Amino acid sequence: MVTKSEPRILIVDDEPLVRRTLAEIIRNGGFSATAVSRGKEAIGEIQRQFYHLVLLDLNLPDMSGLDVVKHIKHHSPKTEIVIITGYASLKTAIEALERGVMAYVEKPVRPNQLIATINSVLEKQRLKFENERMLRQLSALLYFAQDITSELELDELLRRIVIRATELTNAEKGFIALREGDVLQLRQYWDGRCWVDLEMAWKRGEGIPGQVWVTEHPYMYTKSDPDPLVTPSVLSAFQLEACLCSPITDTMGRFIGVLQVINKVGDEPFTLDDLSMLQALSRQAAIAIENARLYERQKEEAEISTSLLRVAESISQFTNLDELLGMASKIVPGLLGCDQFGLFLLDRAKNIFYGAKARGSSAEQEAAFCALKFRRGKAGILDEVTERREAMVLEDVAREQAIDPSYVRQLNLRSCLLVPLIAKGDVVGVMGVGYSMGPHRFTARDIKIATGVAHQLAVAIENANLFAEVSSHKAALQRLSMRLANVLEEERARISRELHDGVGQVLSGMLIGMDVLEEKVPPSLGEIKEGLKQMKMLTEKTLDELRRLSHDLRPSLLDDLGLLDALQWLGDYLAERCGWTVNLIVDEDFPRLPTEIETALFRISQEALNNIRAHANASTVTLRLHRQDDIIQLEISDDGRGFDPAALDGAHRGLGLLSMRERATALGGEAFIESEVGKGTTIKIIVPWPNSPRPPAPVSVEETPYVAEKQGS
């Protein structure tokens, strides 16, 4: 332990009796005294060692006492001087005080007065030393705080703390250890030349750091005072001669580590001032460590959020379950730095877990994983993860009794992290990531990332399943819609045939009969003859209307000659009725299409032309039909008044437009509407080419069009 030394006092007087008397008074007062008779001897003593105070006679045989004062203040500015003489003038006394003399005592000296003067001077000196020490300490702490608070990377911060602690305590070595769970883990160790990577840890109460953990008080050790806490292994590892160890406590008063310096430079002992400095450094270090850890947490949270955002962006684009799981098997191992990935999904209908996707070191391992099936309730570790509904870490899979050893060998798995996939409160599966190279310790960051990925993956899987279900329903509805449309077309065709072959034939027979009757009526019966003519005219009009109605229901041209002739007839018919110029532009040698496609395109054209007739106030209508790559494109455009498509919400979107879109969708195609107020409207229908022998590549419509025009009256 370090003990406080006695103040040293130098007596300078040429009278032997005075020297002996003063020395006796001083020693009786508890001080260390040295006496000399000449000024040069006093200067030599001051140069040889430090004296706290000098009792100086002004009248010396070899030099003036004031010159001695000058030399003492030059060589030892912190040494205080008290003049003691019986032959000094007031002027001399004032000059001595101006040169830094602390007090003035006249001979003959009374012991009590001398001791009181010495104590007063030494107390002032102590206060001066303390103020200087505090100023130095504050300056050093300010520099220390500025240096460490500018660093937010924890490892670099700990190094700066150790370096500054050794510098400010003049120590050879130092280290810092932080609490990690139930141990103090050595984080950074400076051996005076370089950073040394030592794997050391102390439990609570073990060694000096462990003892400081228990007491939360600083500790001072010197080799001259053996301590059972300092074991031979510690002495050897650190070559320990002396040390100071200070606890580090955070702003909430919680113990978080220790800061220790070892062996003062020059074999000098550590002082209480050094210990006080180390404590002050530890308080500043605690704040900086808290800030660095907060920064690390924020940085980690930002990195995790960024990683999860990348995962979300990667998997959210997939609606197909197989593609989704394939992407997950690629990005998750890279995100966690592992080489194994496996995904079990829960089949609720069969109540089993089955291997849905795997990524391992070989295709055989992946196939083996995907062949796994476990009944729920007898699935071992999968049931446990499902029941706990939280991540589970298996650092050594081979020791887990809940896992069949044959699976461990088959999958070459050593450590794994299992996370439940939970969507809408229900477990939909279990995601596993692992290592095959050896036992691995998963960090809190790994678990947090895996849990976040599992949550996103569960939602994506649920969405993919819902999308598949909706797509299945939609496909069924489209098939039903197509079937209904076909049934409707069949019914239209039947009614059209009935009208044409039944009622039409009856009306035709009536006309023939009326022609025969008209010839048999004599001229004298003019009124009857005129009546027959009126009846013939009405019957002819009825027959014409019946034929028009029959064509509207299902033009026979569509079945007999195909889409092009049916469109030509439709354009001619509306051109005559509406006064339009109708242009039909078709690829040369455009082939016949399957009945359902021709019917749909004809009905779309019919609906579009009816809309133009009702709303567009157009003068020219153009129908283009051509093939482009593997699609058929039908385009109907007019030069009418147009409209703003964005202004049509769902409630005001006409049944005609909806019908066109539904017919296109039923064929696996799409419908597009382009329109602008005052600039007409264009409707584009794009459907895939049917699964039939592909025709030759089409030529450009602009190069060799087939054009049929009908100018209205």
Q: Mean pLDDT, to the nearest integer, of 428-449?
A: 82
Q: Give residue 707's pLDDT.
A: 39
Please state, for a pLDDT cut of 70, what percent of the chain lies above it: 85
Q: Which residue has the higher pLDDT, 202 or 318?
A: 202
CATH node for 151-298? 3.30.450.40
**Residue 426: C-alpha distances to residues 213, 529, 673 (Å):** 46, 88, 43
User: Do residues 269 and 152 make contact, with C-beta atoms less than 8 angstroms apart?
Assistant: no
Summarize pLDDT for 43-57 with one digit per residue, the tens: 999 999 999 999 998
**Residue 431 carries which side chain, given as an amino acid letter?**
M
Q: Give residue 522's pLDDT.
A: 83
Q: Which residue has the higher pLDDT, 492 or 391?
A: 391
C-alpha 675/C-alpha 559 separation (Å) is 33
Q: Which pair of tokens denotes residue 690?
A: 């049917």
Burial grade of 665 (CB within 10 A; 0-12, 13-18, 19 or more): middle
Q: Give residue 241's pLDDT.
A: 86
Summarize pLDDT for 599-625 with one digit per residue, the tens: 888 888 888 988 898 888 899 999 999
Q: Does pLDDT of 255 surpass 70?
A: yes
Q: Give residue 2's pLDDT.
A: 37
Q: Give residue 593's pLDDT.
A: 85
Q: Which residue has the higher pLDDT, 459 or 543?
A: 459
Which residue ranges make up each domain of the chain? Answer: 8-133, 151-298, 344-554, 558-711
Band of residue 512 on the pLDDT scale cut at 50, 70, 90: confident
Contacts of 117 (CB under 8 A, 6+ apart): 82, 103, 105
Q: Give residue 653's pLDDT.
A: 53
Q: Mean pLDDT, to the nearest integer, of 406-418?
A: 70
Summarize pLDDT for 622-637 with one digit per residue, the tens: 999 988 778 899 999 9
Q: Mean pLDDT, to the nearest integer, of 75-80?
A: 90
User: Do residues 125 and 78 make contact, with C-beta atoms less than 8 angstroms apart?
Assistant: yes
Q: Which residue has the higher pLDDT, 684 or 506?
A: 684
Coil/strand/helix, residue 376 = coil
- The half-sphere exposure of 310 on its side-chain side, counting CA atoms within 13 A, is 11
Could you check whether 151-298 and 344-554 share the same CATH topology?
A: yes
Q: Mean pLDDT, to the nearest integer, of 464-472?
A: 80
Q: Give residue 424's pLDDT.
A: 85
Phi-psi region of 637 (alpha: psi -120 to 50; beta: other; left: phi over 0): beta
Pairing of strands 340-347, 426-435: antiparallel
Q: Considering the chain, what is the average pLDDT of its residues?
A: 81
Summarize pLDDT for 323-356 with one digit per residue, the tens: 888 888 888 888 888 888 888 999 988 899 998 8
User: Do residues 615 and 644 make contact, with C-beta atoms less than 8 angstroms apart?
Assistant: no
Band of residue 398 on the pLDDT scale cut at 50, 70, 90: low
Residue 74: in which H helix or E strand, if any? helix 65-75
Q: Which pair of tokens denotes residue 548?
A: 């028009």
Q: Give residue 496's pLDDT.
A: 66
Q: Does pLDDT of 703 surpass 80?
A: no
Specify the range with the lowest mean pLDDT, choosing from 1-15, 106-120, 322-336, 486-500.
486-500
The separation between the first and the last C-alpha atoms of the chain, rounded to the nearest angstrom, is 124
Beta partners for 179? 184
Coil/strand/helix, residue 697 = coil
Band of residue 694 on the pLDDT scale cut at 50, 70, 90: very low
C-alpha 621/C-alpha 582 separation (Å) is 5
Beta strands in 377-530 (DSSP E): 392-394, 415-423, 426-435
DSSP 212-261: HHHH-S-EEEETTS--TTS-HHHHHHHT-SEEEEEEEE-TTS-EEEEEEE
Q: In whole angstroms, what separates CA 463 from the centre of its chain?
A: 22
Q: Does pLDDT of 710 surpass 60?
A: no
C-alpha 24/C-alpha 508 separation (Å) is 161
DSSP 95-140: HHHHTT--EEEESSPPHHHHHHHHHHHHHHHHHHHHHHHHHHHHHH
What count of other Cβ atoms lies within 10 Å of the Cβ of residue 274? 21
Q: Does pLDDT of 692 surpass 50?
A: no
Q: Give residue 706's pLDDT.
A: 35
Q: Give residue 486's pLDDT.
A: 66
Candidates 54, 48, 49; CA nearest to 33 is 54
Q: Give residue 594's pLDDT.
A: 85
Specify the range with the lowest mean pLDDT, choosing from 276-290, 297-311, 565-579.
297-311
Q: Give residue 556's pLDDT.
A: 66
Q: Mean pLDDT, to the nearest integer, of 429-456?
A: 83
Band of residue 638 on the pLDDT scale cut at 50, 70, 90: very high
User: Do residues 360 and 411 make contact, with C-beta atoms less than 8 angstroms apart?
Assistant: yes
Specify the range with the lowest mean pLDDT, choosing from 5-9, 22-26, 396-400, 430-434.
396-400
Q: Mean pLDDT, to the nearest integer, of 303-322?
A: 78
Q: Mean pLDDT, to the nearest integer, of 298-314?
A: 77
3-state secondary structure 130-171: HHHHHHHHHHHHHHHHHHHHCCCCHHHHHHHHHHHHHHHHCE
Q: Give residue 492's pLDDT.
A: 67
CATH node for 344-554? 3.30.450.40
Peptide bond between residue 247 and the one before it cis (omega within 30 degrees of 0): no
Q: Give residue 190's pLDDT.
A: 92
CATH of 558-711, one of 3.30.540.10, 2.40.50.140, 1.10.150.120, 3.30.565.10: 3.30.565.10
Q: Which residue has the higher pLDDT, 523 or 205?
A: 205
Q: Mean pLDDT, to the nearest integer, of 373-398?
A: 85
Q: Give residue 550's pLDDT.
A: 67
User: Do residues 506 and 520 make contact, with C-beta atoms less than 8 angstroms apart?
Assistant: no
Summarize pLDDT for 529-545 with one digit per residue, the tens: 788 888 888 888 887 77
Instruction: Judge: domain 8-133, CATH 2.40.50.140.
Output: no
Q: Give residue 361's pLDDT.
A: 67
Q: Give residue 711's pLDDT.
A: 39
Contacts of 563 (CB under 8 A, 6+ apart): 592, 593, 598, 601, 602, 625
Q: Mean pLDDT, to the nearest integer, of 284-295?
A: 88
Band of residue 256 on the pLDDT scale cut at 50, 70, 90: very high
Please state, for a pLDDT cut of 90, what percent of the chain lies above it: 19
Q: Which pair of tokens denotes residue 113?
A: 């007065």
Q: Give residue 136's pLDDT.
A: 65
Band of residue 248 on the pLDDT scale cut at 50, 70, 90: very high
Coil/strand/helix, residue 196 = coil
Band of residue 400 on the pLDDT scale cut at 50, 70, 90: low
Q: Give residue 700's pLDDT.
A: 37
Q: Does pLDDT of 96 surpass 90?
A: no
What count of other Cβ atoms lies within 10 Å of the Cβ of residue 253? 7
What count of other Cβ atoms lies within 10 Å of the Cβ of residue 69? 23
Q: Give residue 634's pLDDT.
A: 92
Contacts of 662 (CB under 8 A, 6+ apart): 481
